[in-house]
Amino acid sequence: MIFMSPYETPFYFIVFGIAVAPLGLLLFFGKKRLWYQCALTVFFLYMSFGGARYKQGIALAAYLIFQTALATAYFKYRQKHNAAPVFIIATLLAVLPLALVKLSPVLSESLSAAGFLGISYLTFRSVQVVVETRDGLIKEFGPLRYVLFLTFFPAISAGPIDRYRRFSGELFAPPGPDRYAELVGQGIQHIFMGFLYNYIIAHLLGHMLLPLVKEYVLSGGGFLGILYYMYVYSLYLFFDFAGYSKFAIGAACLMGYDIPPNFNKPFSSGNIKEFWNRWHMTLSFWFRDYVYMRLMLFFLKKKVFKSKVAASNLAYFALFLLMGLWHGITWYYIAYGLYHAAMICLTDAWLRFKKKHKDGLPHGRFTRALSVVITFHAVCAGFLIFSGFLNELSERM
């Protein structure tokens, strides 16, 4: 048996292509065999979490049992009752495994044994199901489809973060020959773009150029060196992650699923808000819907703040602090979160100012270009904090 992480090498795609071909043929003839998808899932999970990584495999299995039991129990409970404390406990329980793993450096190293590749993304999905169950949006629930949703292997390790209701719909309704033929075209296109992004551009930037730049800065490259590092790292991050998302989306297409996009030309954004609507979209939409909106609703309902602006700003800080903490309990991830929170609040203030002084401000192609350039640099500065390189630099100095 060959063990490898999703999309680790081109060879993964060969295995994937062969394994998925029968499913593709079935889909093309308008049939859907759920058992085949189950078998595929087991096979690919074993490939990624078996062998030397068997401990992760055990953690994953335990995680799935726990989350499925939790979601099933809460769904059943919600059909009859709707108490807030139960909802809060269910949500906290859904986050608990991830929180323990993330806090393991602080609490106890042994907790990290509960972790596995992709635990964050599975948690985003499970929390979503709990929240939408509470909202009464999820009307149908079954353990099998829930597990298939959580472990949808093309997107298991790094997203995109799909939505349960959307996925569930596609799970039971085959796309039909016409639609599937289109999906195959898109899938191949996505995967090959992924090759370009991830295997070629990100490799050149991250593995060839970045070490050289790093060496240059550490041997005293000064401010210009750091700037250079910032650009290379930011572009590397984009091509690496966007390429990865393209693999996931492409692979999902070949299986007949149209999962949501994760990147939409993020560096063409005119401000930070727009950036978060274009960068790691499924994650920022998740945070928007389940953190920001919930907090806003809570603040306004309970009249915690008089002004909407203050409520929104606080919600932003909570959102980005949480996102920072999610990346890891390290000062630069937290700084990264606070930085983006500050940026987005400033952006909001600027947008309000612009609205008031509509006529006084120039507006045109040039200002748009200028705002794109400024946003790009603000974003890259954030990635520089995120990279932890400043940390390394300060330790060496």
User: Which residue ranges make up the site for other proteins (CB under 8 A)?
Assistant: 2-5, 8-9, 28, 51-52, 177-178, 180-182, 184-185, 188, 207-208, 211-212, 214-215, 220, 222
Structure tokens at 294: 């919930």
The catalytic position among 190, 327, 340, 377 is: 327
Write out the chain in H/E/C secondary structure: CCCCCCCCCHHHHHHHHHHHHHHHHHHHCCCCCHHHHHHHHHHHHHHHHCHHHHHHHHHHHHHHHHHHHHHHHHHHHHHHCCCHHHHHHHHHHHHHHHHHHHHCCCCCHHHHHHCCCCHHHHHHHHHHHHHHHHCCCCCCCCHHHHHHHHCCHHHCCCCCCCCHHHHHHHHHCCCCHHHHHHHHHHHHHHHHHHHHHHHHHHHHHHHHHHHHHHHHHHCCCHHHHHHHHHHHHHHHHHHHHHHHHHHHHHHHHHCCCCCCCCCCCHHHCCCHHHHHCCCCHHHHHHHHHHHHHHHHHHHHHCCCCCCHHHHHHHHHHHHHHHHHHHHCCCHHHHHHHHHHHHHHHHHHHHHHHHHHCCCCCCCCHHHHHHHHHHHHHHHHHHHHHHHCHHHHHHHHC
What is the C-alpha to C-alpha distance for residues 118 and 6, in angstroms, rounded to an integer?
11
Greatest extent of the chain over all pairs of C-alpha atoms, in Å: 68
Query: What's the min distance (Å) between Cβ of 28 and other proteins?
Result: 6
Distance CA 102, CA 238 (A): 24
Q: Judge whether 327 counts as a catalytic residue.
A: yes
Report CA-CA distances (Å) from 174 to 31, 191, 197, 228, 284. Answer: 7, 22, 30, 49, 29
Other CB atoms within a 10 A radius of the CB of residue 326 amount to 18
Q: Which is nearer to other proteins, 28 or 66 (CB)?
A: 28
| Joined tokens for residue 58 | 């055990």
Whether the bond between 160 and the residue before it is cis, its omega within 30 degrees of 0, is: yes
Please give the positions annotated as active site.
Answer: 327
